[in-house]
Amino acid sequence: MRIGQGWDRHRLVEGRPCILGGIVFPECGVGPLGHSDGDAVIHAVIDALLGAAALGDIGRHFPDTDERWRDAAGRTLLVETMVLIRNAGWRVGNVDVTVIAELPRIASRADQMADILASVLDVDRGAISIKATRGEGLGPEGRGECVTATAVALLFGSGREEGTR
């Protein structure tokens, strides 16, 4: 088994849809700025998965210099990541995510976000944890300037010798 950790932060700006964990938060009024959709939750999960599998990071596989990924949905990137994970001989055990932001309020939609992740990662819903906290006025998250997400992922070998491709 392997554990990976991911972290992502996006500036919040007017004129962008607020998409986190594959869910649109239309009430937010600002959205994450990024080459793709700026979904910090899914981006952090991708980095955790790639890290656990020793496959590099999100920028290596989906660089912001590649127009194929402009405005790409985080869910699309996660599907592509799961192909890499499976091809490397791994399966997901569980994923734990923490979102740090003043806006949007995550708690009421955390179950929907977890459902989306569980579906793409091919795990039971109980293997996904989505938590939220606020910056309480401190730092860029606390001032409402950005959204940050951290993720930890556990991978198991899928029947092939661990670490082989």
Q: Are 71 and 63 in contact (CB under 8 A)?
A: no
**Residue 108 neighbours by CB under 8 Å, 6+ apart:** none
- What pLDDT is attached to residue 160? 53
- What pLDDT is attached to residue 161? 47
- What pLDDT is attached to residue 95? 98
SS3 139: helix
3-state percent helix, strand, coil for the chain, nearest multiple of 5 = 35, 30, 35
Q: Tell me the H-state helices in the chain.
A: 40-52, 58-61, 74-87, 110-121, 139-142
Tokens encoding 24:
């649109």
Q: What count of residues does the chain have?
A: 165
- Please give the single-letter amino acid code of residue 53: A
Q: How far apart are CA 117 and CA 109, in angstroms?
A: 13
pTM of the model: 0.93
Domains and CATH numbers, the chain: 2-157 (3.30.1330.50)
What DSSP designation does 35 have? S
Per-residue pLDDT tens listing for the chain (165 residues) = 999 999 999 999 999 999 999 999 999 989 999 888 899 999 999 999 999 999 999 999 998 888 888 878 899 999 999 999 999 999 999 999 999 999 898 999 999 999 999 999 999 999 999 999 998 889 999 999 999 999 999 999 976 544 443
- What pLDDT is attached to residue 83? 97
